[in-house]
Structure 1
Amino acid sequence: MRLVALAESESHVCCRYRLTAFRAALAGAGHTLEVRALPRSWFGRLALGRDLTSYDAVVLQRKLLPPWAVALLRRRVRRLVFDFDDAVWLRDSYSPKGFDDPKRAARFRATVTACDLVIAGNDYLAAAARKFVPADRVRVIPTCVDVAKYPVAEHGPGGAVRLVWVGSSSTLKGLERFAPTLSAIGRAVPGARLKLVSDRFAGFPGLPVERCVWSEATDAEEIAAADVGIGWVPEDPWSRGKCGLKVLQYQAAGLPVVANPVGVQAEFVRNDETGFLATTTDEWVHAVRALAADAALRKRLGAAGRHQVEARYSVAAGGTKWCAALADLVARVAAPRPARMIREAVRLPNGRGVHVE
């Protein structure tokens, strides 16, 4: 199949981890993948899909378009796929307006119902899509990492424990909410320090912070140079839709992980197997203290986490799932409409009706 993805950009984190990472696997199955930036202008979206009629399938990644734009795209392309890795029908954890957003919800429903295939990053997201479309049109493909890019943490004996957190300035807001617990860890575990790999930084009284500017070229090495990965997200509907990329990165580098049991973190992290789940401050302190005192424990849990990623959340595993989903798409939508120009009436946001081709 000739595939084209409409994404924010080819360099965007979602596109890199959820689409272009699988190019080799797709090519091995006879597919090609191109990426195009979604038009931002009103006029650009009015023309959306006109030049995509020769492709076998179009992948719309994450973006919720207005229903009229989705309708145009649907009419103009042979097959339409939606890939998403967040609870996009909601506002995020930090919105002052709350989670519910009727406009986003309406766009989400219009998008998934228009698609021949929906790819969700986890079961929570898939369940939301299945409210509107048959179950056989929804597949779960986790966000995946290329394990080969990650060195394995050494976990040498002795020394102060180095925690690591990787993320963007937007998700750092969540870590700042977690400040009292981080400070408690700093006071309770002698020598503990926190390495922040980000584009913005914060301070936590009692816990020394090492600032490391994020770079795609070095983030794997920076993570592997630490001892314990930490994953904390708010307990809310938006966070339950997160796909846990940072936890997978820690595990790919052979780090044990301490995380709160929200969403996929409760699947990725299992007590005394790949790390520890913690909810209260006392549980967090106990987990970090145990890992700080025992390099062999860190090594054992980290190795189990890396093995888990290799088996279930690697690029190879995700590529296999993508190829299977596309094979099913071809079988179900066996007679795509021939590429042709379609003249249609569309009701635009300004209330005026126009004809487009």
Structure 2
Amino acid sequence: MRLVALVESESHVCCRYRLTAFRSALKAAGHTLDFRPIPQSLFGRAALGRDLTSYDAVILQRKLLPRWVTALLRRRVQRLIFDFDDAVWLRDSYSAKGFDDPKRSARFRATVEACDLVIAGNSYLAEEARKFVPADRVTVIPTCVDVAKYRVQEQETRTSGIRLVWVGSASTLQGLERFGPTLSAIGRAVPGTRLKLICDRFAEFPDLPVERCTWTEATEAAEIASADIGIGWVPDDPWSRGKCALKVLQYQTAGLPVVANPVGVQADFVRDGETGFRANSTDEWVHAIRVLAADAALRKRLGETAHRDVEAHYSVEAGAKLWIESLARFETVRMAG
């Protein structure tokens, strides 16, 4: 099949992890994948789809277009696929207006109803889409990681200086700042602990030294792997339950044990005593970090199990297989017709 994806930009994290990563595997299976930016102007949106009629399917990634634009696009293209990895029908955790947004909700419903196939990043997102279309038009393909890019951490016994790591963007750093009092408590309770922040903006936390590491795509994997424990904290709210927990998968790919609060898919990725520890209260967080800081063998065992999980279920190879299986449905329908 000839595929074209309408994306915010090819450099956007969503495009890189959820589409570009699968391009080679799709090509090997006989598919091609091109990219086009989503037009911003009124004129560009009114013309959307006119030059895409030669493609077998158009993938609209994440963007909720005005309903009239979605309707025009639907009429002009052969097949339409919607791929999304956030609770896009809601405002985010940091909006002063609250989560509910009637305009977003209406656009989300119109988009889902217009599509031949909906690809959701997790089951929470898929269930929302299934409120509006038959269940068999919705499938889950998780955000996946290129395992080959990551060096697995060799855990070492340390008398002090355990290094936590958090990776994210300036927008998600807001969540970590809310978590600041617990981070400070960890710094006081586990002397020598440091926090490596891999980001494009930085924060400071009393009693917990911060190592600033400016994010780049080229160095991200190595910087994560040089730490000892990955941390994942998100607010427990409807928006966060839709997150696909990419940072947790990145830590696990690097062979790190993870401590995270059990919100959304973080509860699936982090299993107590197997791939890390779940923690809600400050006391639970302090206990988990203290236990892991004192036991390099435990960190190694949990990290190795986590790495195997990613290879089996969240690697680029695993995700590409799901994409190829999903696209095969179109061929089955064509032949049946």
Q: TM-score, with normalisation over the residues of structure 2? A: 0.99
Specify the alignment match of 1:16 in structure 2. Answer: 16
CA distance in 1: counterparts of 2:330 and 2:62, whole angstroms: 19
Q: May I ask how many residue pairs the two structures share in their alignment?
A: 336
Secondary structure, in 3 states, of the residue corresponding to 2:239?
Answer: helix
Aligned AA (1:44): G
- Deviation per CA, 1:17-59: give whole Å up to 9, x if none: 0001001111111000001111011110000000000000000
Specify the alignment match of 1:160 in structure 2. Answer: 161
CA distance in 1: counterparts of 2:144 and 2:195, whole angstroms: 25
Q: TM-score, with normalisation over the residues of structure 1? A: 0.93
Unmatched runs of 5 consecutive residues or more in structure 2? none
Q: 1:168-179 maps to which residues of 2 (within 5 A)? A: 168-179=169-180
Secondary structure, in 3 states, of the residue corresponding to 2:33?
Answer: strand
Q: 1:334, CA displacement in angstroms? A: 5.4
CA distance in 2: counterparts of 1:132 and 1:237, whole angstroms: 19
- Shift of the 53–281 alpha-carbon distance from structure 1 to 2, 3 Å rule, reads same
CA distance in 1: counterparts of 2:90 and 2:330, whole angstroms: 28
1:212 lines up with 2:206 in the alignment = no
Specify the alignment match of 1:98 in structure 2. Answer: 98
1:251 lines up with 2:252 in the alignment = yes
Secondary structure, in 3 states, of the residue corresponding to 1:133?
Answer: coil
Secondary structure, in 3 states, of the residue corresponding to 1:60?
Answer: strand
- Deviation per CA, 1:137-190: give whole Å up to 9, x if none: 001000000011000111111141100000000000000000000000000001
Aligned AA (2:13): V
CA distance in 2: counterparts of 1:249 and 1:189, whole angstroms: 24
CA distance in 1: counterparts of 2:25 and 2:276, whole angstroms: 31
Unmatched runs of 5 consecutive residues or more in structure 1? 337-357
Question: Could you tell me the percent identity over the aligned residues?
Answer: 76
CA contact (8 A) 1:67 1:111 kept: yes
Q: 1:330, CA displacement in angstroms? A: 2.7
Aligned AA (1:289): R
Q: 1:34-113 maps to which residues of 2 (within 5 A)? A: 34-113=34-113
CA contact (8 A) 1:117 1:329 kept: no
Aligned AA (1:311): A
- Deviation per CA, 1:290-339: give whole Å up to 9, x if none: 00000000000000000000000000000000000000133235599xxx
Aligned AA (2:314): Y
CA distance in 1: counterparts of 2:154 and 2:144, whole angstroms: 23
CA distance in 2: counterparts of 1:193 and 1:304, whole angstroms: 24
Aligned AA (1:20): T
1:281 lines up with 2:299 in the alignment = no
4+ runs of 1 displaced by more than 4 Å?
333-336
